[in-house]
Amino acid sequence: MVNKLKVAIYWAGGCGGCDIALVEMGPHLLELDAAADIVLWPAAMDGKYQDVEALPDGAIDLCLFNGSVRTSEQEHLARLLRRKSKVLVALGSCAHEGCIPGLANQMSAEEIMRRVYLEVPSMDNAAGTMPQTVTRVPEGEVTLPVFYDYVNTLAQTVPVDYTIPGCPPSAHQIWRALELALAGQLPELGSTVGVYAKTVCDQCPRVRQGTKVKAFHRPHEIEMDPQRCFLEQGVICAGPATRAGCNQLGKPPLCISAAMPCRGCYGAPEGVEDQGAKLAAAVASMVDSIDEAEIAKIVGGIADPVGTFYRFSLSSSMLRQAMAEERKR
């Protein structure tokens, strides 16, 4: 009897979209089941942390870890699964870059708690009750994970062997990575799996005419030409700063195919350290003015600059480092 590989799948700080993408592999799940034993998958099966803790170190052949790390429980599982796994994969944008949860790094943990439990109009909390990490009750102690001051990526917590980007990754991309793992053909350690070296712009079929803009718009605010480059119509598109790979080889990127600008969820292309800075530079090059006041007015029309340029990558950005230094002062 051939020994099956042992695979773990874990969901930390994220929306669950990566687990849905795994389910969307469809019949390939049966192929995975035939080749591997899944020892942990909280979204799909009952499993206890104690079962993982009881395994010898390195007993898990492959772990797909999705979600960012914000709490002590998530950090514990990241360190535990790193120790128990031969190969640890950051699956999806939350594990890779921090993703949408990472935008919370604009506020401290204290500010978030105060906002959520005391200030939002829908909250009825006249007593000002706040979550406690330890609460004593007659039966003993009830504990909650510690809520850290920052959202961290998986690689900011433990060493990561491979990355599969995307929010969420495409099912075909996940299966391709699993095929390589099952066949023992994974690429060089540290590789980003299932993507291309080119940017989304390199794969985009839309026409670029070299024009600049006098204003920026959100997609619903104008009637867009379905053939022309989004940026040349004043609609922010993350294509110049985003790695390609969100669709099958030879097909246009997924969001572009749906007549929507690229959101940036596959992260920075090779050689780019900060995706948000790269996108900001690309957008700045589209401004049709040399007058400082007019430039400020045009750029001022961009809604939520941090959420626009760092929607997926704030946790892993240089801006996050600068914000952390500012908060210390």
Residue 227 has phi, psi (to 5 degrees) of -105, -20
pLDDT at 194: 81
Q: Residue 319: which pLDDT band, with cuts at 50, 70 and 90?
A: confident
State percent of the chain over pLDDT 90: 84
Confidence category of residue 2, pLDDT binned at 50, 70, 90: low
Q: Is the pLDDT of residue 1 over 70?
A: no
Rounded mean pLDDT of the chain?
Answer: 93
User: Could you tell me the sign of the dihedral formed by the alpha carbons of 89, 91, 97, 101, in that order?
Assistant: negative
pLDDT value at 77 more than 60: yes
Domains in the chain, CATH or no CATH each: 5-100+149-182 (3.40.50.700), 111-148 (no CATH), 200-328 (no CATH)
The reported pLDDT for the residue numbered 321 is: 80
Q: For residue 248, what pLDDT is reported?
A: 76
Task: Answer whether residue 237 shows pLDDT above 90.
Answer: yes
What is the C-alpha radius of gyration for the chain, rounded to an integer number of angstroms?
Answer: 22
Digit-coded pLDDT (tens) for 12-42: 999 999 999 999 999 999 999 999 999 999 9
pLDDT at 114 over 60: yes
What are the phi and psi torsion angles at 224 (to 5°)?
-90, 145
Q: Residue 245 pLDDT > 90, yes or no?
A: no
Band of pLDDT at residue 196, cut at 50, 70 and 90: confident
3-class DSSP string for 204-260 = CCCECCCCCECCCECHHHCCCCCCECCHHHCECCCHHHCECCCCCCCCCCHHHHCCC
pTM of the shown model: 0.91
Assess whether pLDDT exceeds 80 at residue 178. yes
